[in-house]
C-alpha cells in the first residue's frame, strides 16, 4: 500500500516517490475521457513530475473539456480515441460505464497487447469485460478511485486482469499514487470497495453538511459552523 503523504517528506516517502518516477520514466499517458477524475489524475501526474505534460493526451466528446485540458493543463486533447491509443503506452479509461463497450470497440484495432497497459476507473466494469473486445493478451488493470482524489486526498484500489503482471500493476499503481493512496486487492472485492470508499465518504459529507446547517440555525456563521463541524 502506498500512502500520499503531506508536509515534510521522510525517507520512506522520498523512496516511494523515487520508485514511482522510475516506473513512469519514459512513459506516455493517454486519458480516454477528460472528466473530473481524469483531470485529478492528470494534475497529480503533472505535479509529481512523473510524466511531462507533452507526453500526456486526452480525448473527449465535449469541446469545453477539450479546451479546458488544453488551456488550463497544457495537455493535448482530441475527439479521436484512436489518436490517444497511438500516442500512448499507458491508457486510462475514464468514461461512463454505459460508454465502455463503444470506446473499447473503437480502440481495439489500434491496441497492441505488448505495448499498451489499459487501466479503467469505470465503476462495475470487470477486467474480463475490458479484455473481451481487445487483442489476446491485453494487459488490463481495474481501478476504483474515489472523489477525494480531486483534492489529492483520495484512495484508489487496484486489481489486475488475467494477463497483467505484477510489474504492469506497479506501473498503474505508480500513476495513481501521484493523486491518491493506493491499495492492491483481489477483483472480487471491487464491488464492496465501490460502496466502502467510493460512495461511503459521501454519507459523511452529508452528515457534516447537516451539522453545519444545525450550527447556523443556532446562530453561527457558515464559516464558523463548518470549521467546528469539520475539526477532527
pLDDT tens sequence across 44-102 = 999 989 999 999 999 999 999 999 999 999 999 999 999 999 999 999 999 999 999 99
Q: How large a percentage of the chain has pLDDT more than 90?
A: 61
Q: What is the pLDDT of residues 151-195, one digit of tens each?
A: 777 889 999 999 999 999 999 999 999 988 899 999 988 876 666
Listed residue (155, 156, 158) closest to 142, CA to CA: 158
Q: What is the mean pLDDT of residues 131-156?
A: 89
For the question of whether the overall pTM of this predicted structure is more than 0.85, the answer is no
User: What are the beta bridge partners of residue 10?
Assistant: none
| pLDDT confidence tier of residue 197, bands split at 50, 70 and 90 | low
CATH code for the structural domain at 11-185: 3.40.50.720
pLDDT at 225: 83
Q: What is the mean pLDDT of residues 2-31?
A: 62
CA 231 vs CA 34, 219, 228: distances in Å:
33, 19, 6
Which of helix, strand or coil describes residue 74? coil
In sequence order, which residues have a C-beta less than 8 Å from that of residue 151 and are 6 or more positions away? none
User: What are the beta bridge partners of residue 160?
Assistant: 141
Amino acid at each position: 500500500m502506498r500512502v500520499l503523504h503531506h508536509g515534510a517528506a521522510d525517507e520512506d516517502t522520498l523512496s516511494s516517490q523515487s520508485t514511482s518516477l522510475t516506473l513512469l520514466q519514459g512513459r506516455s499517458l493517454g486519458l480516454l475521457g477528460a472528466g473530473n477524475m481524469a483531470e485529478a489524475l492528470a494534475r497529480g501526474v503533472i505535479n509529481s513530475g512523473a510524466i511531462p505534460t507533452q507526453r500526456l493526451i486526452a480525448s473527449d466528446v465535449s469541446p469545453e473539456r477539450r479546451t479546458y485540458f488544453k488551456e488550463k493543463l497544457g495537455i493535448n486533447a482530441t475527439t479521436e480515441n484512436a489518436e490517444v491509443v497511438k500516442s500512448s503506452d499507458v491508457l486510462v479509461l475514464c468514461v461512463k460505464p454505459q460508454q465502455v463497450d463503444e470506446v473499447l470497440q473503437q480502440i481495439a484495432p489500434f491496441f497492441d497487447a505488448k505495448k499498451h497497459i489499459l487501466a479503467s476507473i469505470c465503476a462495475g466494469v470487470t477486467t474480463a469485460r475490458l479484455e473481451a473486445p481487445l487483442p489476446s493478451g491485453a494487459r488490463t488493470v481495474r481501478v476504483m478511485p474515489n472523489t477525494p482524489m480531486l483534492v489529492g486526498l483520495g484512495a484508489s484500489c487496484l486489481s489486475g486482469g488475467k494477463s497483467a503482471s505484477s510489474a504492469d500493476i506497479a506501473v498503474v499503481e505508480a500513476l495513481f499514487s501521484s493523486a491518491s493512496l493506493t491499495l492492491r486487492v483481489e477483483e472480487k472485492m471491487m464491488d464492496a470497495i465501490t460502496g466502502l470508499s467510493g460512495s461511503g465518504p459521501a454519507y459523511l459529507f452529508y452528515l457534516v453538511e447537516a451539522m453545519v446547517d444545525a450550527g447556523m440555525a443556532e446562530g453561527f456563521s457558515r464559516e464558523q459552523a463548518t470549521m467546528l463541524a469539520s475539526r477532527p
